[in-house]
Structure 1
Amino acid sequence: MDSNRMETVKRVTSAITGAPSCIAIRGARKIDARGVREHFWLTSADGVITATGTDEEEFEHACRSIAIDPADDTRIIDAAGHLLTPGYVDIHAHGSWERSFDDGPDGIDIARAGHAVHGTTRQVCSLITNPIDVMCENLRNVRAAMDRRPDVLGSHLEGPFLALARKGAHDPECLKDPVPELVEQLLDAADGSLRQITIAPELPHGIDAIGRFAAAGVVPAVGHCDADYDMAKRGFDAGAGIITHMFNAMNGLHHREPGPIPAAVEDPRVTIEIINDGFHVQDPMVRLGFGFAPHRTAFITDAMAATDCPDGPYKLGALDVNVVDGHARLVSNGAIAGSTLLLEVAVRRAVTVLGISPVDAVEAATLTPARTFGYDRPNPVTGAPLGLLAPGYAADLLLTDPETWAVGEVWCAGRKLK
């Protein structure tokens, strides 16, 4: 990694572990799940939005209430018509900048910086299939990271309870049936930090494990599975609340064999993950899938260590990966090995390529993923809720170019990351 990126990692890590500042932004075009507002202003203190509006007199009062002089241009950010959105929330990503979230504390800091500077202010750290003792150690590392930085929301285990026939880029030697002893071992290691776990419900102990994880406060996800429609429904009824990267690593849509996708679409309790990179799911299917369940589709990246890096050889767990034209595949069999997508790009593609409304695109990267874990309301993990630009919500803010949708300035809980 070059020296500029290492300096960025240090700066982002220092900022996110520091104290929040007071913020006053005016002249923005606000976009969140509640709609669009022109000439928008916002103030925040102690990492929480204190006031919003469009009236200038009210803005001056809001500034004074957080000890900012409304005449002091050095402390007030003029958005000059740029987009102001909530920070992006990625609930399924493995890494970036040549590191994965499996690579210990330094790996977490580096990978988080790679996503943070592109607008992902909060992240669930996805951990790849490994031997159980390694997975437990990786869970403990994520738990420790949560204690020192508010942008880490917890962990997601993508494995080891996956179907062999739908394993994708996961090591077949490490796949397991989710017997109760393994469930308890992983829960103990996570110590309350496990947010979701992908499970093939058709495994011998699959349904039982979904129930056990759900009872422990985890949101199980149906995915990497060979489940049919009825089995998927059983999984959701047992407590699964997510379908992992819909269309990928599962039975597809068929008029006589509907598979797990309709089961997820029909169930209002289920969040639908989708990788909007035009490669994992081609554009016509992204448009179709996005329309299946309004307000329940969450853009995810499934990003691996090669994200925001040049093409070349990389690792996914213990497996060798080669990235060509930004697409990652296993060297051994050519299977797709995660993505190199950023949520910044997913939102941009949704608006500029797919024709999805900016409000819906932003919602899919903010409020919907936050709602999956109850982070759209006050909670013990984030404190203030995530996903909207409204008083009482976390000051997770992005200023974005209205033409290119390139993220410019980034704040997480009132801490400036870029």
Structure 2
Amino acid sequence: MNGRIVTPDGIINGHIAINGEMIEAITPDDTTDAAGTDIIVPGFIDLHCHGGGGHTFTTGDAEAARKAAAFHLRHGTTTMLASLVSSPFELMRDAVEAYQPLVADGVIAGIHFEGPYLSHARCGAQNPAYLRDPAPVELTELVKAGPETVRMMTIAPELPGALEAITFLRDHGVLAAIGHTDASYDQTQAGVAAGATVGTHLFNGMRPPHHREPGPVVGLLSSIAAVELIADNIHLHPGMLAFAARSAGPDRAILITDAMDATGMPDGRYELGGQEVVVADRVARLAHNGSIAGSTLTMDVAVRNAVAAGLSLTEAATMAATTPARLLGLTDRGAITPGLRADLVILDADLNLKQVIHAGVPL
């Protein structure tokens, strides 16, 4: 496989040798003309996705989840978390049980619960009927039921009991994320100190920054936490995407889709967490108030948009694969390096997807 290979150390013109599931070697070839050649990047890792191709993760249906993951795999996402929106506890518990076989099969890498411990004031497209303060008994049961399945949870740090919940998640190997929050700068920093390591879709679902009260955006950017960025040019202006990515650096910035089931589907009416969503010209909004409701983005487009916003190919690949792999503790993937799993995405010179290779197998 020849092309411009995007490695952690830069772009190499050369050849990748694959042996079984693994990358065996990278051989430079300086005589290759880079102009017009394919670009090879690591398989994408999406930490925040609610569905795609007409199928959703949010209902806890295992067959729908398999189909949603297969849709995004065809767009280069070789590893992903299945994100649920705020839900009754019974649905959350049932989803953990239903998705455990998918984790065991490598279809998904686990579950991300986006809620229900979120701010009413910043709930966005989350269903307010399901929002509540952190409940230790719920957290304990979820983690106990799926110690390898529950991988991330988004919490508003200003809620009663939130800091204790964040520490509990950290201590049990679950990524605690700060999002859908009306927290102050100090409350955000307290959440990071308690163990939060991710900011859920930075800017969106958060109190806006102000020079007298920086709020969660600046609180997260000035912390050690990684920050998710939805690079669909709708949730974030390209200039704001580039600003946030450069402020955090590629080792702390993460490209995500926040995609819903309408991704890859025609405009029309859909559902998210019990609320009607209208999709028109790529934009998903709640029918009753017009709030943006997830995205119709795929990771290949997110990478292309990030580069168009001024980030380098190496930076975009790091944000789309290497940094999320590190956060999840997946040491066998996330970069094009000999000895790692051969999860690869081949793009043309204009960054349009040409082929996906998953664990050494071309799709």
State whether TM-score is above 0.5.
yes
Among residues 114, 121, 140, which one is paired with 2:71 in the alignment? 114
Q: Indicate yes or no: 2:168 matched with 1:208.
A: no
**Deviations 1:322-363, CA, capped at 9 Å, x for gaps:** 0011100111221111011111111111123x1221111121
Equivalent residue letter for 2:264: D
If you compute each CA radius of gyration, which structure gives the higher value, 1 or 2?
Answer: 1
Q: Distance in 1 between matches of 2:301 and 2:160?
A: 39
Q: Which residue matches 1:59?
A: none
Pairwise CA distance, 1:259: 0.5
Question: TM-score, normalized by length of structure 1?
Answer: 0.83
Contact 1:98/1:314 (8 A) holds in 2: no
Q: Distance in 2 between matches of 1:287 and 1:102?
A: 30
Equivalent residue letter for 1:31: V
Among residues 278, 284, 290, which one is paired with 2:239 in the alignment? 284
Q: Distance in 2 between matches of 1:46 and 1:154?
A: 25
Alignment of 1:139-288 (within 5 A): 139-148=96-105, 150-268=106-224, 270-288=225-243
Q: Distance in 2 between matches of 1:189 and 1:130?
A: 17
**Deviations 1:210-244, CA, capped at 9 Å, x for gaps:** 01111100010010011101101110011100000
Contact 1:97/1:306 (8 A) holds in 2: yes
Q: Distance in 2 between matches of 1:390 and 1:42?
A: 9
Q: Which residue matches 1:60?
A: none
Segments of 5+ residues of structure 2 without an aligned counterpart are 31-35
What is the DSSP-based 3-state SS (H/G/I as helix, E as strand, rest coil) of the residue aligned with 2:47? Answer: strand
Q: Which residue matches 1:5?
A: none
What is the DSSP-based 3-state SS (H/G/I as helix, E as strand, rest coil) of the residue aligned with 1:298? Answer: strand
Q: Which residue matches 1:374?
A: 329
Q: Which residue matches 1:34?
A: 9
Q: Indicate yes or no: 2:333 matched with 1:393.
A: no
Segments of 5+ residues of structure 1 without an aligned counterpart are 1-24, 57-79, 378-384
Q: Which residue matches 2:25?
A: 51
What is the DSSP-based 3-state SS (H/G/I as helix, E as strand, rest coil) of the residue aligned with 1:170? Answer: coil
Contact 1:327/1:339 (8 A) holds in 2: yes
Q: Which residue matches 1:125?
A: 82
Q: Indicate yes or no: 2:358 matched with 1:402.
A: no
Contact 1:328/1:338 (8 A) holds in 2: yes
What is the DSSP-based 3-state SS (H/G/I as helix, E as strand, rest coil) of the residue aligned with 2:228? Answer: strand
Q: Distance in 2 between matches of 1:284 and 1:400?
A: 24
What is the DSSP-based 3-state SS (H/G/I as helix, E as strand, rest coil) of the residue aligned with 1:161? Answer: coil
Residues 328 and 139 (structure 1 numbering): CA distance in 2 closer, same or farther, change over 3 Å?
same
Equivalent residue letter for 1:234: A
Q: Distance in 1 between matches of 2:15 and 2:62?
A: 37
Q: Distance in 2 between matches of 1:48 and 1:96?
A: 28
Q: Distance in 2 between matches of 1:236 and 1:109?
A: 33
Residues 335 and 55 (structure 1 numbering): CA distance in 2 closer, same or farther, change over 3 Å?
closer
Using the TM superposition, name which of 405-414 and 87-96 deviates more.
405-414
Pairwise CA distance, 1:368: 1.2
Q: Identity rate of aligned residues, in percent?
A: 38
Runs of 4+ in 1 over 4 A off after TM superposition: none
Q: Which residue matches 2:303?
A: 347
Q: Which residue matches 2:33?
A: none
Q: Which residue matches 1:137?
A: 94
Q: Distance in 2 between matches of 1:142 and 1:246?
A: 27
What is the DSSP-based 3-state SS (H/G/I as helix, E as strand, rest coil) of the residue aligned with 2:48? Answer: strand
